Amino acid sequence: MRAEDQTVASDLDELSPSRPWDDAPVLLALGAILLAAVWSVVLLTATPGDDSAEAGFARDMADHHAQAVEMAEIVRDRTADPEIRILATDIALTQQAQIGQMQGWLQAWDVPMAGTEPAMAWMGMPSSGPMPGMATREEVASLGALPEPEMDAAFLRLMIRHHQGGVMMAEGIVARTDRPEVLRLAGTVIAAQRAEISAMQQMLRDRGLPEVPPPDFAPAGGQGHGEEDRGDISSTARDLVRLAPLPIGVFAAAWLGIDGARRRRVWAGLASTPVASWSAWRVAALAGLAASALLHAALAPEHFAESAAYGLFFAASTGALAIAAAGVVAWPARTAAVFGAAISLVLLVVYATFRIVPPPGADAPESVDPVGVLTKAAEILALAACLVLARRAGRRSAPDAVEEPHPA
């Protein structure tokens, strides 16, 4: 009799329009939401310290930019070539503005403008000499003394090498930061200076001069944000641990909302109760969607560096996958299964597309990497499981519900 009473109580609870606030799943969900909210504030308000990679990058890149501005201003005032003058003017104005932006960071972070460590220490390659790509003082001075045609050619060669070093430094900070403002600027530097390198190499060819060869310097302690570093497992694992509370919070909030909506429909007689028991396909769908959500959250920072649109796509994908996972748990009806399958299919198509064409902010298609393969495996699992759930739900008039007579 006691077992029957428990069954009746369970069924009555399923028929109630809302869960009690002291119900264990509700308390867990509220705790996850609170943690995500607090963690978001921590991530947004925490500032880099004096010895951080961000502060080191801002100081070094400001100095690096200052030399580019100096060379550009010398050539802009002396050259008779309109193409060179336009290029020099653009470099001077753009990089001077970026210097102001980086100095503004240092002030906002309340760290000194000058650090105590050697240049490039933040990249694990401290140096007492020039930073990568920088010209010597003699080379800079020569721009004001060389005849104009020779000056133009020397400027192109020096600036190409200078940009090569700047790109390497920007790639280095992308591999070491999660600050949105730093990632945005680094992504801008990488895209703009790569484009200017290509343009300046073409200017050399147009003038019958040889191109500047690829740089012989390489970053220490990591490859930065090139194709070699994309999908680095250790970097992704670090970001996964750091950002995991955010998709978990979205999952918890979505579960509360979907579970409440289902209960209200049950209360109104518009849906069946109770929810179907767990099956292997339902577990697989949850595992695939949840794993993909966590991995997309971990990959979002590096894609923000390529372009804001690409980063936002990864952030939105994280939220959509977390909501789909919550639907599979709270209300595994056909709608939830179809939504999970659709999200997984879209992400698989996008992944395949960007192996053929360059994604936003990149100049070449992405390569296959271990983290990408792991993410796609999770999405394939989610897609297959959700399709099976949707097909099974479609066979029933009440999706994923088991009709059982209530005990008298």
Give the chain's domains with CATH numbers.
53-226 (1.20.1260.10), 234-394 (no CATH)
**How far apart, in whole angstroms, are the C-alpha atoms of residue 165 and residue 395?**
62
In contact, 157 and 208? CB cutoff 8 Å: no
User: Which residues, including other chains, have CB under 8 Å from residue 285's CB and lie 6 or more apart?
Assistant: 325, 328, 337, 340, 381, 382, 385, 386, 389
Return per-residue pLDDT of the chain as tens, 408 residues.
Answer: 344 444 434 444 555 677 888 889 999 999 999 999 999 998 878 889 998 999 999 999 999 999 999 999 999 999 999 999 999 999 999 999 999 999 999 999 999 999 889 999 999 888 888 899 999 999 999 999 999 889 999 999 999 999 999 999 999 998 888 788 898 899 899 999 999 999 999 999 999 999 999 987 655 444 434 444 444 677 788 889 989 999 999 999 999 999 999 888 888 777 665 566 789 999 999 999 999 999 999 998 878 767 778 889 999 999 999 999 999 999 988 999 999 999 999 999 999 999 999 887 677 888 888 999 999 999 999 999 999 999 988 776 444 444 444 443
In contact, 260 and 20? CB cutoff 8 Å: no
Q: What pLDDT shows up at residue 325?
A: 97
Of the candidates 275, 256, 277, the residue with the CA atom closest to the CA atom of residue 399: 275
In contact, 326 and 157? CB cutoff 8 Å: no
**How far apart, in whole angstroms, are the C-alpha atoms of residue 379 and residue 341?**
9
Instruction: Tell me if the bond preceding 359 is cis, omega within 30° of 0.
Output: no
The pTM of this model reads 0.67
Mutual angle of helices 245-267 and 280-306, in 10-degree steps: 130
**How far apart, in whole angstroms, are the C-alpha atoms of residue 159 and residue 33?**
50
Q: How far is CA 294 from CA 34, 176, 258, 374, in A?
A: 18, 20, 20, 12
**How far apart, in whole angstroms, are the C-alpha atoms of residue 314 and residue 337?**
21
User: Which residues, including other chains, have CB under 8 Å from residue 279's CB and lie 6 or more apart?
Assistant: none
**How far apart, in whole angstroms, are the C-alpha atoms of residue 262 and residue 18?**
9
| SS3 letters across the chain | CHHHHHHHHHHHHHHCCCCCCCCHHHHHHHHHHHHHHHHHHHHHHCCCCCCCHHHHHHHHHHHHHHHHHHHHHHHHHHCCCHHHHHHHHHHHHHHHHHHHHHHHHHHHCCCCCCCCCCECHHHCCCECCCCCCCCCHHHHHHCCCCCHHHHHHHHHHHHHHHHHHHHHHHHHHHCCCCCHHHHHHHHHHHHHHHHHHHHHHHHHHHCCCCCCCCCCCCCCCCCCCCCCCCCCHHHHHHHHHHHCHHHHHHHHHHHHHHHHHHHHHHHCCCCCCCECCCCHHHHHHHHHHHHHHHHHHHHHHHHHHHCHHHHHHHHHHHHHHHHHHHHHHHCCCHHHHHHHHHHHHHHHHHHHHCCCCCCCCCCCCCCCCHHHHHHHHHHHHHHHHHHHHHHHHHCCCCCCECCCCCCC
**How far apart, in whole angstroms, are the C-alpha atoms of residue 14 and residue 10?**
6
Of the candidates 186, 382, 166, 198, the residue with the CA atom closest to the CA atom of residue 303: 186
